[in-house]
Structure 1
Amino acid sequence: MATTPKVLDGEPGGLSTLVRAALPVVPGLNQLPGVRKGSAADFTGLAFRREGVVAERPRVDAYAAVCGFPRKDVVPLTYPHMLAFPLHMAIMSDPGFPYPAIGMVHVENTITAHRAIGVGEVLDVVTEVGAARPHAKGVLLDFVTTVAAGTDIVWESTSTYLRRGRTVDGDAAVGLVITDPPSGGVEWRLPANLGRTYASVSGDANPIHLYPLTAKALGFPRQIAHGMWTKARSIAAIENRLPEAVTVEVAFKKPVFLPGTVAFAARQGDAGWTFALTSPKDGSPHLVGRTSTP
């Protein structure tokens, strides 16, 4: 690890986190000490950690219910992201991180589970981010998380965020490409309050997911579903056919407006599953993904 992680103490999240995330985009206030962001050119990395985090039964069950997973004695494949998300926000809200949290777009996510995590297990979670990578529309930042039980790493993820604007030197990466993803499939009708329901179990209360008014304030015609909900719900549809040790990669494409209807399709191949969440109207993709053996 290139950066010594800061310890995130106490119960993370809540209104104070949202305020810290929003202040750097408020003219005038964004120049105050403790709010003013550092130089992107000087940024080399930042890390935070949480120690002794418990995968508590009530929270796991509430998350599973919202995302379509069955109740089990092990956590859903995507659940550890809930434990890491406060670290994402701590990094984005830190004055040393040069980009405001508001406006960061989650474009890709990769999860590798090395084994199942039991409900009630005690875990240590670390998230770190390095220098930005070039992108045609700005820069990409990879938030890399490791979850350990004792000395064993049991779960890892990389969440890639796009920050639109000025880019950095280098060749832009192509990103996840899935040729001939499946289409059509079963349709899911998503309610208007899905973003608020998911926010209540995930802690991700970004205004773009909550109400038409708050979404419009940030440039969307109405609220949109969380990208990580679309990944979780897609995995829930095939999780009983996945091995315990598995890697799942997804790219988030067009937003899912709420209320709305999406179509889910999956196809098994020699290397694993490919799946997609699309618009039933025109087949345009909201999410494409694939699984493999780590």
Structure 2
Amino acid sequence: MEQLVFLGTGDAMGVPRVYCGCAICEEARKGGVNRRYRSLVAVEAERTGENQGNPFPFGEEEGFLIDCGPDWRSAMERREQRFAGQVLVTHAHFDHIGGLPEWADACRWLDRKGQLYAPQEVLDTILRQYPWLDRNLDLHTVDQGVTLAGWSIRGWKVNHGKNGYSYAYRLEKDGFVWAYCSDSIALPPEQRGLLAELDLLVLGTSFYHETAEFSTRSVYDVKEALELLQEIKPKRTIFTHMSHDIDLRRDYGLPEGVEYARTGQTVLLR
């Protein structure tokens, strides 16, 4: 059995915001449910008694991470994991790639090559920012699709509003189909096709209702996302990439089959 683990559920700034004294940030500072690290998920075999305490559990065939932001190291420490073999990246913004140098350094000290997967234009941007990464990481383009840990994966470019573009991924294995779309907004019809007929959708929603001028925005809010769900109709949806506007102690009256991600949450992929 395989599972999806939410290691990070926050937006680019995380929660708490260092400057903010709002009730949500204060609750997060005390270790509450609103403590959110930058977006990061693991796709892996379900942890059992046999592998629960293994600090090197994930080789190149056993699982992978999606994204590698600046909270990658703390996520690894929290779960007592000492190696990550494969990382699939959605786009080259700091909150999604800021941990790549630390990952590469871990690979150097362990004398193991990490496997980094992304669309070619994302890889090009990453190497402009971190030109030494390919010393310790093998870089693979996913423009024609890729198979990781048995998952058949297709990526496509999605609108990221004022921040340009990101990539979403559709993953299929043994009849289970899900998609990861952490950074998008106002998807036009041609970008929604691979979101059809999903067992699970992981979708980024930074605010419940964002009032900023639309031209300044980059991620769906919850109200907009719920409208999207009425069209694409996934069986289950989990909202991630949340700012300090979302309070997990509050009942938002979300429809059946829709929920907010929680740090450390585990979801079986079946």
TM, length-normalised to structure 1: 0.22
Which is bigger in relative contact order (C-alpha 8 A, separation at least 6)? 2
TM, length-normalised to structure 2: 0.24
